[in-house]
DNA sequence: TTACAGGTCTTGT
DNA sequence: ACAAGACCTGTA
């Protein structure tokens, strides 16, 4: 167990910001011991199952000036070596908040105030490629279900829990799994079969991608069948941490039409476009 | 019942 | 180059 205070971090906001599909709240079986000031989340990453307890209500009214305390089901070494990276601890989100709050964009200020606990996780590239291919023209519940089925069917047991499965590597998934309608992939199954097959036969591709800049990574992703501009931008943002990437989906399209009828100038946010997109997206999805 | 889900591909102009 | 239509399927 490792405990620490982290600014600009809220588990509920991260879990519901749409960047991850295996990060969810868990409610203890004994509901009598649930404290209203705590919330517990679980996730699987880097082959490990992790639970995290945040010592405050997972409220919408997150105040970055009062950081929460987090208890991780890992030791200090695992935090330092693995999960501090995953939670993007070296990015200064307070600085981005200052940039927003000193701008003249009142709408964006409102979004930041509402979702200041969002961080862009540094998730696994391959997992992002597959999950965001599944996400196209789909709903969260069904996406989550398909991802979990895929992990159970083809993933390996996590190194610290026999009841949780890591995300399957390209070589872990027999191509027949994409013929199984019960996986819920729908028409995306053939895209998934292609990308698993291609990546298994071109194992250097993922490593090459991770060495590319944003433009080249986009180009290398867009030639794969089933990856269009939106999914490619999500992969760049969430899988490669190119924070210049600005995925435009139906919601962001509506935001841009509503609040930026003359277009949005992303250059003034100085390499933080993707983070700003997350604040806007979360605000639109969850603000009543 | 019809429309919608964090889109993309194909086809027709 | 650009605009429709089609596309699996669970949910409301």
Divide the 288 residues of chain A into consecutive groups of 10 and give the mean pLDDT of each group.
Answer: 94 95 84 76 96 76 74 96 97 94 95 96 98 97 97 96 96 97 97 98 98 98 98 98 95 93 88 95 89
User: Beta carbon of A250 within 7 Å of strand C?
Assistant: no
Distance in Å from C3's C1' to A162's CA comes to: 51
- How many alpha carbons fall within 13 Å on the CB side of residue A23? 20
User: Three-state DSSP class for A176?
Assistant: helix
A23-42 tens-digit pLDDT: 999 976 666 666 778 999 99
Nucleotide whose C1' lies closest to the alpha carbon of residue A17: B6
- The answer to whether the beta carbons of residues A188 and A133 sit under 8 Å apart is yes
For residue A140, CA distances in Å to A102, A144, A285 come to 34, 6, 12
User: Beta carbon of A246 within 7 Å of strand B?
Assistant: no
pLDDT at A218: 98
Nearest-5° angle of CA A199, CA A203, CA A209?
80
For residue A154, CA distances in Å to A81, A131, A176, A202, A267 come to 27, 14, 11, 20, 42
Structure tokens at A53: 């307890």
pLDDT at A258: 92
Nucleotide whose C1' lies closest to the alpha carbon of residue A184: C9
User: Beta carbon of A286 within 7 Å of strand B?
Assistant: no
Distance in Å from B3's C1' to A135's CA comes to: 18
pLDDT at A269: 84
Distance in Å from B9's C1' to A32's CA comes to: 52
pLDDT at A14: 96
Number of helices (H) and strands (E) in chain A: give both, helices first. 13, 7
Residue nearest to nucleotide C7 (CA to C1'): A187
- Global pTM? 0.95
Strand B bases within 7 angstroms of protein beta carbons: 4-10
Distance in Å from C12's C1' to A6's CA comes to: 38
Q: What share of chain A is helix, strand, coil (3-state, %, to 5)?
A: 50, 10, 35
Structure tokens at A103: 């701008």
Nucleotide whose C1' lies closest to the alpha carbon of residue A182: C9
A42-58 tens-digit pLDDT: 999 999 999 999 997 45
The 8-class DSSP code of residue A181 comes to G
Distance in Å from C10's C1' to A170's CA comes to: 27
Nucleotide whose C1' lies closest to the alpha carbon of residue A233: B6
In the set A156, A230, A253, A287, the catalytic residue is: A230
Is A113 annotated as catalytic? no
User: Beta carbon of A57 within 7 Å of strand C?
Assistant: no
Query: What is the residue-wise DSSP string for A214-253?
Result: HHHHHHHHHTSTT--HHHHHHIIIIIS--TT-----HHHH
pLDDT at A64: 63
Distance in Å from B11's C1' to A193's CA comes to: 24
pLDDT at A241: 98
User: Beta carbon of A234 within 7 Å of strand B?
Assistant: yes
């Amino acid at each position: 167990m490792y405990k620490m205070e982290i600014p600009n971090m809220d588990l509920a906001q991260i879990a519901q910001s749409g960047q991850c599909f295996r990060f969810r709240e868990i409610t203890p079986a004994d509901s009598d011991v649930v404290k209203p000031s705590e919330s517990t989340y679980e996730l699987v990453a880097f082959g490990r199952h992790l639970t995290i307890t945040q010592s405050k209500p997972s409220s919408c009214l997150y105040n970055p000036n009062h950081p929460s305390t987090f208890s991780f089901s890992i030791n200090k070494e695992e935090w330092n070596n693995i999960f501090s990276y995953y939670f993007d601890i070296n990015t200064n989100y307070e600085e981005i908040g200052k940039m927003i709050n000193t701008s003249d964009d009142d709408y964006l200020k409102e979004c930041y105030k509402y979702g200041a606990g969002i961080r862009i996780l540094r998730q696994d590239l391959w997992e992002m490629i597959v999950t965001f291919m599944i996400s196209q023209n789909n709903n969260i519940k069904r996406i989550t279900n398909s991802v979990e089925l895929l992990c159970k069917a083809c993933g390996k047991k996590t190194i610290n829990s026999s009841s949780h499965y890591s995300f399957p590597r390209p070589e872990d998934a027999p191509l027949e799994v994409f013929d199984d309608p019960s996986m819920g992939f729908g028409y995306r199954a053939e895209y998934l079969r292609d990308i698993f097959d291609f990546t298994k036969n071109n194992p250097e591709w993922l490593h090459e991608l991770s060495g590319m800049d944003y433009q080249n990574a986009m180009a290398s992703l867009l030639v794969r069948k089933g990856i269009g501009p939106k999914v490619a931008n999500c992969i760049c943002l969430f899988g490669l941490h190119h924070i210049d990437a600005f995925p435009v989906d139906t919601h962001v399209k509506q935001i841009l039409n509503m609040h930026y009828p003359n277009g949005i100038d992303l250059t003034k946010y100085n390499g933080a476009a993707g983070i700003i997109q997350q604040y806007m997206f979360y605000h639109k999805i969850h603000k009543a």
